[in-house]
Amino acid sequence: MTTADDKKAKLFTEAPDLILSGDKLRINYQAWWSKLAAPFKSEFIEWRISQTGVKKDGVVWAMCLAYVDNRAVVDRLDEVCGPGNWKDEFYIIKLGDKEGQVGFMCGISLRINDEWVTKWDGAQSTDIEKIKGGISGAEKRAAVKWGIGRYLYGLEATFANVSMTKVTGARWAKTKDGKPFWWTPPELPAWALPKEQVKKQ
């Protein structure tokens, strides 16, 4: 038979950022939020080109945006909240009159002091893997509402390292005018990395 003490022990195991207040378990909000909002290792950060252009001298430039890999978001929720203390849900929204033009809303719910609290956000379907990309984008945006990956919005204008010839690890892209180029993302500043990764650099 499972006792009340056994249940408490299980909760502490699943979500260690709990504190005992009298006979009730309460969230240690400061520690809990700090862990949700903590920077990710650079390997879990993805980049995409946001703007491109060509200077008067013909040199190509490109700006890029950083975002968190969706699997890292799920792992962070499991790690901080415990697998049984969060859930997600989705629904489709129609965008405009064009057929197939849809978006996705995602709600991420966390169980806080025995009550479910949900925060929502959405994203459009993507050009590649429309459904999967749209769902993933919506979940990442909803996760930001809980502080996950929000620090990336604090990055200043980030320019990619551009090359006109292929280099190791570079990705192919092209400007609006169709001029091809290769690019690699910039390095993240120290404040946008976990302390243990900064120490190794």
pLDDT score for 193: 96
The alpha helices in 109-163, defined as continuous H runs, are 130-145
As a whole number of angstroms, the distance between CA 39 and CA 197 comes to 10
Same domain? For 119 and 103 the reply is yes
Residue 183: inside a domain, yes or no?
Answer: yes
Same domain? For 132 and 110 the reply is yes
Tell me the pTM: 0.80
Around 55, how many Cα atoms within 13 Å sit in the side-chain half-sphere? 6
pLDDT score for 13: 42
Same domain? For 119 and 171 the reply is no
Helix axes 130-145, 70-81, angle to 10 degrees: 40
- Quick: pLDDT tens for 144-157: 999 999 999 999 88
Same domain? For 88 and 135 the reply is yes
Count CB neighbours of 188 within 10 A.
20
Phi and psi (nearest 5°) for 59? -80, 130
The residues near 200 (Cβ < 8 Å, ≥ 6 apart) are none
Residue 102: inside a domain, yes or no?
Answer: yes
The residues near 7 (Cβ < 8 Å, ≥ 6 apart) are none
Residue 123: inside a domain, yes or no?
Answer: yes
Same domain? For 126 and 105 the reply is yes
| Tokens of residue 146, six digits | 């809980």
- Residue 81 CB burial class (10 angstroms; 0-12, 13-18, ≥19): buried
Same domain? For 60 and 102 the reply is no
Domain carrying residue 16? 1-37+69-155
Same domain? For 74 and 111 the reply is yes
Same domain? For 109 and 11 the reply is yes
Same domain? For 54 and 83 the reply is no
Nearest Cα to Cα of residue 183 among 199, 167, 171, 201: 171
Residue 195: inside a domain, yes or no?
Answer: no
Question: How many domains does the chain contain in total?
Answer: 2
Task: Indicate if the pLDDT at residue 84 is higher than 80.
Answer: yes
As a whole number of angstroms, the distance between CA 18 and CA 80 comes to 10
Instruction: Please report which confidence band the pLDDT of residue 9 belongs to, taking 50, 70 and 90 as the band edges.
Output: very low
Residue 192: inside a domain, yes or no?
Answer: no
pLDDT score for 22: 54
Same domain? For 89 and 31 the reply is yes
DSSP secondary structure code for residue 43 in this structure: G
Residue 194: inside a domain, yes or no?
Answer: no
Question: What average pLDDT is seen over the chain?
Answer: 85
Residue 87: inside a domain, yes or no?
Answer: yes
Same domain? For 16 and 60 the reply is no
Residue 32: inside a domain, yes or no?
Answer: yes
Same domain? For 121 and 81 the reply is yes
As a whole number of angstroms, the distance between CA 55 and CA 86 comes to 48
Strand order in the sheet with 171-174: 161-163, 180-184, 171-174
- Quick: pLDDT tens for 168-201: 999 999 999 999 999 999 999 999 999 888 866 6
